[in-house]
A and B are shown apart, each in its own frame.
Chain A
Amino acid sequence: MDAIIFWPFALLALLGAVLLIFHKNPIHSALALIMTLFSTAALFVMLHAGFVAVLQILVYAGAIMVLFIFVIMMLNLQREELGLRRHAAKKIVATVLALGIGLKFALVLTAQLLPRAELAASFGSVENVGMMVFNDYMLPFQAIGVLLLSAVIGAVVVAKTRF
């Protein structure tokens, strides 16, 4: 049962990531990333993280990606020519190194079977996560509010001023 849900979404997530990297048109790349984010949200639900899955769709796919698409459309970017014409050796070395690191990580992570904890029915609910954020992590929560405010002010200042 798990496999029927896991494999399609895992493959969709990987497909989205590959399309993101290798598509020439930035708008298509953004849409591919949205596909990856949606698939990951489905996997979050599989791991009993319903609240985070909803946040993922609302905040990431909803807010952040809309901002990206807005900027891409505003700047009216042209297609970027891809390929190995420039810096071919560097690009090949970079890809091989990244794949090597990924392979090493994957080997370490599959070395032993991870146990799955017994999860209560309310695990990952809005109530549980909310209680944790507003009790144990109150100070980080306040700090992140200040961070968001300063980020908004910073973004307006940077985008408005002519240097």
Chain B
Amino acid sequence: MSWLTTITLNHFLVLAVLLFTLGMIGVMLRKNGLIVFMCIELMLNAVNLAFITFAAMHGNEVGHTMVFFVMTVAAAEAAVGLAVFVALFRNKVTVYVDEAADLKL
């Protein structure tokens, strides 16, 4: 059971994969748009963890820079996305993604 006591970079990558998978499940199962949105943030966070792990693997800080940019884009995305949900709530009094189907053919 040496994998329990010796922490390698693989541990971090597997954790990143698990977090990404959980985020993916959340996006598919939940219908509350805000929670879907938070699950997307969780997936972004998992990808950030993978970036940081690979940065430690290569001894190169480009991964850190990348995470910096991902965080900024996530902040911009959260601002616009939450504004969309506020607008949706005003017009339809719901944030459930399956009730906002006006554009469906």
Contact = CB atoms under 8 A, between A and B. Distances in A.
Interface of A: 2-3, 6-7, 10, 13-14, 17-18, 20-21, 26, 29-30, 33, 36-37, 40, 43-44, 47-49, 51-52, 55-56, 59-60, 63-64, 67-68, 71-72, 74-75, 77, 80, 91, 94-95, 98-99, 101-102, 105-106, 109-110, 113-119, 123-124, 128-129, 132-133, 136-137, 140, 144, 147-148, 151-152, 154-156, 158-159, 161-163
Contacts of B60: 117
A151 B79 contact: yes
A125 B99 CA distance: 47
A119 B53 CA distance: 13
Interface of B: 4-15, 17-26, 28-32, 34-35, 37-39, 41-42, 45, 48-49, 52-53, 55-62, 64-65, 67-69, 71-80, 82-87, 89-91, 95-96
| Secondary structure of the A contact surface, majority rule | helix
A20 B42 contact: yes
Given A29-B35, A36-B42, A75-B86, A144 B64 contact: no
A102 B18 CA distance: 6
Contact of B38 (A14, A68, A114): A68
Nearest 4 A/B pairs, CB to CB:
A117-B59, A102-B21, A151-B76, A155-B83
Contact of B26 (A21, A124, A156): A21
A26 B95 CA distance: 11
A134 to B, nearest CB: 10
Contact of A115 (B6, B21, B35, B57): B57
Given A102-B20, A118-B59, A109 B14 contact: yes
Given A140-B69, A144-B69, A3 B4 contact: yes
